Structure 1
Amino acid sequence: MRSCRTSWSSPLSAAALALPLGLLATGEASAHVKWFCAFDVAGQPRGLEQVLCADFEWLAALSILCLMFGCLAEGTPLGTSLLNALDRVTTRLRTDTELLVRATLGFFFVSLWTLGGIILTPELKTDASWIPWLQLAIAACLIWRRTMPLAGAGIVFLFGFATWQYGAFHLADYPVFLGVAAYLILTGLDRTLYGIRPIDVVRAAAAVTLMWASVEKWAYPDWTAPLLAAKPAMTLGASPELFMKAAGVIEFTLAFALIWTPLVRRTAAIILAAIFVSAVFEFGKVDMIGHSGIIVVLIGIAADDRRVAATRRDVVLAPAYYGAALAGFLALYYVGHSLLFAPLTAAPVI
C-alpha cells in the first residue's frame, strides 16, 4: 500500500499520536467546510491510492480496537454501571426528547426564515421568495403534536427541492434531514416504521450522514486547506494531510458507533454532540444554526435507554461490520461521483 508522507517518523507513531490529536481537534474540523470555504462537488476527488495509505490503515486499526474495547467493556459490571448512570443523568432529557427536538427545529426554521435565501443549509442558496415562508410554516407546525407530520412533510419537500436544484450527490451530505422528517411524522402519528422506533430511524440517518461526511474529508482535504491555513493551531503540530485523515477516521468511527451496541452508541453520541458544540465557539452562529438539528438528535440518542445486552458476538463482528461499512461508503462515494461527473470512459481506481 502506498505510503503517505507526514511529520511523524513512522506510520505506527503517526497513527498513535494522530488519533488522540484528531479527537481533540475534530471539533473545529467538524464545522461543515461547505459553509465556510470554496468547494467543487464535481471536481476530481483524491485518488483512493492516496487515501488508503499506511497512516490510514493504522488509524482505522486503532479505531477498530477502540470499538472492540467499548463492546467488551459493555458486558462487564463496569459497563452496566455506566449505562445505569447514564440512565439516571439523562432521565429528564429522555422524557422531554420530543419537546427538545420540536423546540430546536422551531429555532432552526425560524432562523432560516429570518436569514432568507437558504433552503436547508447555508450553501444551499435560493432566490425563491416563498421558501422562507414555507420554513416559517414548518416552524409553526412544530407547536402542536398533531401538525408534526405536516412539518415532516415540509422538510421532505425542501430536501427534494434542494436535490432538484443542487443534485443528488450534493444532498447526499444531508440524509439526516430525511431522518428528522421521519421522526416528526412517525412521532406525530404515534407509529413506528415497521417496528423501528422514530429515534432509531433518525439515529441511522445521522450515522449515514456523518459517515458520508467522513469520506468527503478524505476525498477533498484541500477544501479545508483555507481553514487550516487561517487556524494552524487546529492541527496541533501534525501535517494537514495527517490531520484530515485522523479527523475523518474519528468521525467515521463515531458515526459507525451510533448503530452499534447501547453503551458504545450513547458514548459516541455524547462525544459527537460535544464536538459539534465546541465548533460553535470557533465558527459562530452560522455553525450553531446549521448543526442545531443534528446536535439535538445526538442528545436524544445519548438519552435513549433502550438496551439489548452486548455479547461477545458484537465484539468479534465489530471489525467485519466496520470494514464493510468503510468499504461500502468509499465505493459508494467514488463510484457515485464517477458515474455522475466523470467521463463515461473513466472509472475510479479501487
Structure 2
Amino acid sequence: MSLRKKGLLSFVIALLLATPITTFAHVKWFAKVEPEKVPIEQILSPFFITFAIVIAIILAILSQVMDYFLKIPYATKVNNFLNGIRKYSRHILKYGTAFALIIQLVSGTMFAPEFEITDFWQTIIMSLIIIALLIPHHLSTKVAAFFMLALFITVWQDYGWFYMLDYGFYLAIIFVLFIGKTNLEDWGFPFLYLGTGLSLCWVAVEKWVYPSMTLDIVINHQVPTFGFDPEIFIVMAAFVEFVVGYLLVVGILNRILGLVVTLIFISTTLLFGMTEIIGHAMIHIVLIIFIIEGVSFYQPPIKIHKTKIDQFVFVFLNFIFVLATFILIYYRFA
C-alpha cells in the first residue's frame, strides 16, 4: 500500500476513533436540565470561529482528495458489490421504515421517544401504516406514506414547526415512499440526502445554542472528553455532526460517512440504551441506504465547478455561509 493510501486510510480510522459519541445523541432525549439559551457572543467565540475556518479548509482539501479513497485496496470490489444491490434500496427503506415504526409502537411512541402515544386512534394509525408498508405493492406504500404524513402533521401541530425541524428527515422519507413507481421517482433519494443532511445540521446547532443540555449529558453519563475541557468538547462535538450533515448535502464521501455514522450510532446505543434504539432506528435505515447508494443518482453541487481551485473555494465559502445561516436562523427562532 502506498504512503498516500495509508495516510488516507489512517485519516478515516482516526475520524472514527476521535468522533465524540455524544455527537449524534439527541440531547432532548437525555438531558435532565431545562434548555438555557446562551448569548450569541458566547457561541461565536474566538475558538468557534477559528475552528470553523480550520474545518472549512479541511473540507475544501478533502473535496480534492476524496477520489483517492476509492483506490484503497478492495474498495473497488466493495463498490461493485454495493452497486449491485442498489436495486434493493427502496425495499430496504420501505420495510426498514416498517421495522422502525414497530419498535416505536411497541415502546408507545411515534417518530421519536418524546412523542408518546396518548390516544387509541394514534395506535390505530401507526398499525395501519405498518401493515400498509408490509404489503408488497406500491399503491399500499403510497397509502402508508399518506397516513405517515397525516400523523406527522398532527405531531407538528402539537409541538410547533421549530421543534419538528429536528425530524424533517421524516418528510423526506414520506416523499420517497409516496413517489415510488412514478415519473418523480428519481427525485426521491436526492431529497432523502438533502432532508437528512439538513436535519443533522439543525440538531447540531442546538448544541451550540443550548450547551447546558449537552454538558449535562456529558457529566451525568460520564462521557469521555479525550482531555478537552467539556465546554470546548461540546463545541467540537456539534461541529462533527454539522459537518456530517453538510457533507451529505454537498455529496462528499457519502458511503464512508454512512458507514462511520452507523458505527457511531451503534456506540451510542451501548451508552444510552433503549431510548437510543427507539430514536435512531429510522436513521440507521437511512444510513444503510446511503452506504449502498453512494452518489450514483445524485449530481453533487460541488460538481458544478470543474476546476480544483473552483471546487476548493466553493466548499470553503459555502460551508461558512451554510454554518452562519443555520446559526442565525436557529438563534432567531429559538
Which has the larger displacement, 94-103 or 163-172? Answer: 94-103
1:197 matched to which residue of 2? 187
Question: Does the CA contact (< 8 Å) of 2:101 and 2:110 recur in 1?
Answer: no
Question: Does residue 154 in structure 1 map to residue 144 in structure 2?
Answer: no
Equivalent residue for 2:326, pick from 329, 332, 343: 329
1:59 counterpart = 2:51: yes
Contact kept in structure 2, 1:37 and 1:223, CA below 8 Å: yes
Count residues with an aligned counterpart. Answer: 309
Change (3 A) 1:181 1:307: closer
| Cα distance per residue 1:8-29 (max 9 Å; x no partner) | xxxxxxxxxxxx7996342233
Give the structure 1 partner of residue 218 of structure 2: 228
Shift of residue 92, structure 1, vs aligned partner: 5.1
Percentage of matched positions with identical amino acids: 22
Aligned partner of 1:179: which letter? A
Please say if residues 20 and 225 of structure 2, whose CA atoms lie closer than 8 Å, have aligned partners that are also in contact.
no
Q: What secondary structure sits across from 1:190 in the alignment?
A: coil
Looking at structure 1, the residues matched to 53 and 262 of structure 2 have their Cα atoms a distance apart, in angstroms, of: 24
Report if aligned partners of 2:60, 2:312 keep a CA contact under 8 Å in 1.
yes
Residue identity matched to 1:186: I
CA shift at 1:307, angstroms? 6.4
Deviation at 1:251, TM superposition (A): 0.8
Structure 1: runs of 5+ lacking an equivalent: 1-19, 338-350
> What residue is the counterpart of 1:172 in the other structure?
165
Which residue does the alignment assign to 1:110?
102
Contact 1:25 1:234 in 2 (8 A): no
Distance 2:85 2:52 in 1: 33
Alpha-carbon separation, structure 2, partners of 1:308 and 1:336: 32
The answer to whether 1:37 aligns with 2:34 is: no
Are residues 25 and 153 of structure 1, via their aligned partners in 2, closer, same or farther at CA, if it must alter by over 3 Å?
A: same
Distance 2:52 2:81 in 1: 32
Within the alignment, does 1:129 sit opposite 2:120 as a pair? yes
TM-score for the superposition, normalised by structure 1:
0.81
Q: What is residue 275 of structure 1 aligned with on the other side?
A: 264
Deviation per residue, 1:192-240 (Å, 9 max, x gap): 27xx521111110001100000100101111123321123342122121
Please give the alpha-carbon distance, in whole angstroms, between the structure 2 residues aligned to 1:303 and 1:97.
7
Q: Distance in 2 between matches of 1:273 and 1:191?
A: 31
Q: CA deviation at 1:69?
A: 2.0
CA contact (8 A) 1:22 1:247 kept: no
**Alignment partner, residue 60 of structure 2:** 68
CA RMSD of aligned residues (A): 2.4
The residue type equivalent to 1:33 in the other structure is: V
Unaligned runs of 5+ in 2: 1-13
- Once the two structures are superposed, residues 274-314 of structure 1 have per-residue CA deviations (whole angstroms, 9 ceiling, x without a partner) of 22222112212221121111121122122223365954232
Q: After TM superposition, give the deviation of residue 335 of structure 1 in Å.
A: 1.4
Q: 1:259, 1:265 within 8 Å by CA — same for their partners in 2?
A: no
